[in-house]
Amino acid sequence: MSGEQTGQDEPQTGQLERVTDIGGGIDSGGVDSGRVGGIGNGTNRLLFTTLLREEWRLHTRLFGGWRFASFPLLIVLLAAAATVALLETGTAPSTIVLGLHALALGFGLYSGTAGFAGSNMLENVFGRLSLVLSSASTLPLSRRRLLGMFLVKDALFYAVVFVLPMATAAIPIGGLSATTPTELVAFWLSLSLVFAAGMTATVALIAVRTRGVPTWTIALALVSAAAGTWALDGPAAIESVRTLVVPLSGSLSAAGGLAIGTVLVAAASLALYDPTYGRPTRTASDRFSQLRAAGDRLPFADDPLVVKTLLDLSRSAGGVWKPFVSAGILLALVAALVGVVREITGIEPAPGIFFGGVLGLAAFTTYNWLTQFDSLEFYLTYPVAIDDVFRAKRAAFVLVGTPAVAVPYLAAVIRFDATLVDAAVGAILLAGYGLYYYGLTVSIAGFDPNEFLFDSVRFGTFTVGVAVAIVPTLVAGFVVVPPTPALAAALAVAGIGFGALGIVLSGRAGPKWAERYRDE
Amino acid sequence: MGILRVDELRKSYGAVRAVDGMSFDVERGELFGFLGPNGAGKTTTIRSLTGQIVPDGGTISVLGTDPTTAPLETRRRVGILPEQASPPSFLTPREYLEFVGDVRELDEAAVTAGIEHWAERLGFASKLETLHTDLSRGQQQKVMIAQAFIHEPDVVLIDEPLANLDPLVQEQVKQFLTAYAADDNAIFVSTHNIDVAADICTRVGIVADGRIVTERSLVDETGDSLLETFLEHVDDANARDMPALERTEIEA
């Protein structure tokens, strides 16, 4: 705009203005420029490649180029090494195949939330971001369309970056031969299909939620599904789960049915999704002062940082039940796996040791929920030491994490008839390993446990740290049933030792991360 | 000697010198404007002043404390309003201000009274029990202003104080800041908004390329407008990534 165009009546001299012609200006038509009759396939391609490029840059920027680029190689190594180790210890190949499909399904369920998480949550996870996904507010692109493209991009991106490396486990399972490439591709397609089905399931649930279906109804459906899996017994039921979760093991028509069903549900979910959905304004009575006033009776309530963490958890979507649901899903997956292993091999692990060792992994998801809606930067403007923030997170972790894993653990030892010694050792392992996994997570990832994903160095360190504790424990749990007194004592000592190590690791995390933040 | 003193402050991020020899003093009673274009080093300076980051060199003194070596002591004594900061999504304004009072170890009764006072003054009394996630950006900014002042600090550091506020509240906040500084306190306002600085500041330091290029008192001064001064010092080789300027004569 020039001075002559301002239309001002009085002559002015010496007025300054900026010349805003930067780089030749912006095409007034935006991404739809030159297209008649709305947005065409060209825009879809442009959108897709832009989203894909954004995804790549997001990860390489967050983790550093080589740390992300080498992540698929790390998955190849882990998948191959774990498969070889499991085969060597007598695990049936079909069990390994099922386990990998269960992992792909779980990752798909998790990934489905990404496009819907909202900018606030993404900012908490990744820092201040502006994503192409948000451009529905500034460009003539519908949010539903953007979400559809976003999810297709996510499915393809992760199918290549994460699922394809997982599929290389097919090589040690089938052995090298002329048919290896075909087997590899078939395994990859099978895993990708389950991954996409998991994503679609989450998307469908979120879409239903935007139509006003109460959260408790959705939670009830999830719990019912978990309970159904849990209650599965007998070869027929196990076989039906395998057919559904492992397309590779069923007929081509069953796999095709799953693929078509996934596409149909995904399309229906996007059609059902209401982009205008918004929660009604929420008010709350003053819980902060109520909890602080109870500080002499409740051990945690004398710390405002703990109280804030608990309020963040309880008032965010899903409430205080989120860690319970995460632990419940882990329990259902592991229980189904145990059932399948029993059907295939006739072997059943010592339930206390097995479930105690595995359920400790819920420490990661519990800590994730406790930091999901918080950031360390927030505390840097108050007279609060970073060390105290981490100490408060640990207190909250113990408060929330203990019941979240104790309930499923008790259910498991009752359901699988653990002996008293086995159950007691398992409880020690659960507590000790939980603290250890927590300490490991905090030490490696600080306040951003989600950043584990796709950082090959952090993920590799975490995996090795977990394997050191869990692999010998699970082997012992499978081999010596019921546990001998000597084995029980050794595992109890291991549980206590790892627990102590976890406390040390989490105790050192505060100073470590405080220094890192201030020296950025 | 000022109650806020910076001498030869330096901070780099890799090869980029965000702050490069920054020096200034702020006295009691002053509302000091830290005026500069985007990327001039304003936010890095504020983060150094509040001990959020460790500078590469130079010295800082805030109310006699050194935020580099004793960040908690500095933060205990000052109020801070970071740029684009939001209050915690799942607390209400009342709970958040109670939290702030708690970590600042304030008297409970004083906090309760302070909450009512600030909510009334800034116009969010009816929103005290609403979760922040359901408040507008403007309402959230009001809460953030309240948290910076609730302990009545001698020094307050503010990054873009009027962001997201409606004109009426902007005017109230401007008047309040002026009065607060005049009451033997000091307010350090970082902004790229020349009109805001001209309206409320008693003195400004104009920042470009990580250092103060000129300072100017705005008390009882006539002559060039602040805009002229700003452009004179910023619109030259010192300013990075600034579009060119041209002087235009407008005729009727």
Q: What is the ipTM of this complex?
A: 0.81
- When pLDDT is averaged across residues A10-18 and rounded to a whole number, the result is 36
Q: Across residues A264-285, what is the average pLDDT?
A: 81
Distance from CA of A316 to the nearest CA of B (A): 7
In the predicted structure, residue A227 carries a pLDDT above the cut 50: yes
pLDDT score recorded for residue A137: 62
Nearest to A15 among B72, B131, B248 (CB): B248
pLDDT at A177 over 90: no
Q: Which residues of A340-377 are buried (b: 16+ CB within 10 A; e: fewer)?
A: bbebbeeebbbbbbbbbbbbbbbbbbbbbbbbbbbbbe
Report, as an integer, the average pLDDT of A164-178.
86
Q: What is the CATH number for B12?
A: 3.40.50.300
Q: Three-state SS string across A217-272, please?
A: HHHHHHHHHHHHHHHCCCHHHHHHHHHHHCHHHCCHHHHHHHHHHHHHHHHHHHHH
Q: A42-56, A196-210, A363-377, B227-241 — which is least confidently predicted? A: B227-241
Tens digit of each residue's pLDDT (9 = 90 or more) over A93-112: 888 888 889 889 888 887 77
User: What number is the average pLDDT over the span B127-145?
Assistant: 91
Nearest CB to B89; choose among A13, A20, A120? A120
Residue B244 lies in a domain: no
| Range A15-19, long-range pairs (CB < 8 A, 24+ positions) | A15/B247, A15/B248, A15/B249, A15/B250, A16/B227, A16/B228, A16/B231, A16/B245, A16/B246, A16/B247, A16/B248, A17/B245, A17/B246, A17/B248, A18/B243, A18/B244, A18/B245, A19/B243, A19/B244, A19/B245, A19/B246
Instruction: Look at A227-241, A471-485, A488-502, B199-213 and tell me which has the smallest mean pLDDT.
Output: A227-241
Would you tell me which residues 155-214 of chain B have a C-beta closer than 8 angstroms to some C-beta of chain A? none
At residue A153, the pLDDT reads 87
Cβ distance B130 to A289 less than 8 Å, yes or no, reads: no
- Are the beta carbons of A374 and B88 separated by less than 8 Å? yes
pLDDT score at B203: 94
For chain A, state the CA radius of gyration.
26
pLDDT tens, residue by residue, A436-458: 999 999 999 888 887 666 778 88
Which has more pLDDT, A253 or A227? A253
Domain around B202: 4-234
More confident residue, A454 or A127: A454
CA distance B95 to A311: 10
The answer to whether residue B211 is domain-embedded is yes
% of chain A residues with pLDDT over 70: 79
CA distance B35 to chain A (A): 18
Tokens of B239: 């300013």
pLDDT given at position A136: 62
A410-442: per-residue pLDDT in tens?
999 998 889 999 999 999 999 999 999 999 999
Tokens of A516: 């890192």
pLDDT of residue B7: 96
A3: nearest Cα among B243, B228, B251, B235: B251
B104 contacts in chain A (CB < 8 Å): 382-383
- How far is residue A503's CA from residue A439's CA, in Å, rounded to a whole number? 6
Of B103, B130, B245, the CB nearest to A384: B103
Q: How many domains in chain B?
A: 1
Nearest to B136 by CA among B93, B189, B79: B93
Q: Which of A226-230, A261-265, A323-327, B238-242 has the highest mean pLDDT?
A: A261-265
Sign of the torsion angle spanned by Cα atoms A206, A225, A473, A169? negative
The residue in chain B having the minimum alpha-carbon distance to the alpha carbon of residue A4 is: B250
Which residue has 């191959």 as its token pair? A80
Side-chain half-sphere exposure of B141, counting CA atoms within 13 A? 17
Q: Residue A147 pLDDT > 60, yes or no?
A: yes
Residue B27 lies in a domain: yes
pLDDT of amino acid B237: 41
A114-118, B54-58, B89-93: lowest mean pLDDT where? A114-118
Among B51, B53, B88, select the one facing A312 at the smallest CB separation: B88
Percentage, residues of chain A above pLDDT 90: 29
CB contacts of B244 in chain A (<8 Å) are 18-19
pLDDT at A107: 83
Q: Would you say residue B76 has pLDDT above 70?
A: yes
Cross-chain residue pair A6–B250, CB shorter than 8 Å: yes
Q: Identify the helix (H) or strand (E) that includes residue A446.
A: none
- In chain A, the residue whose alpha carbon lies closest to the alpha carbon of B228 is A16
Give yes or no for residue A24 having a pLDDT over 50.
Answer: no
- Determine the pLDDT at residue A346: 73
Q: What is the predicted pLDDT for the residue at A6?
A: 34
What average pLDDT does the structure give for chain A? Answer: 79
Answer whether residue B182 is part of any domain. yes
- Does any CB of chain A come closer than 8 Å to the CB of residue B91? yes
pLDDT digits (tens, 9 = 90+) for A246-257: 888 878 888 888
Question: What is the model's pLDDT at position A270?
Answer: 85
The whole-number pLDDT of residue B19 equals 93
Domain residue limits, chain A: 40-128+135-278, 285-520
B136 touches chain A (CB under 8 A): no
pLDDT of residue B95: 94
Residue B251 lies in a domain: no
Nearest to A518 among B52, B91, B246 (CB): B52
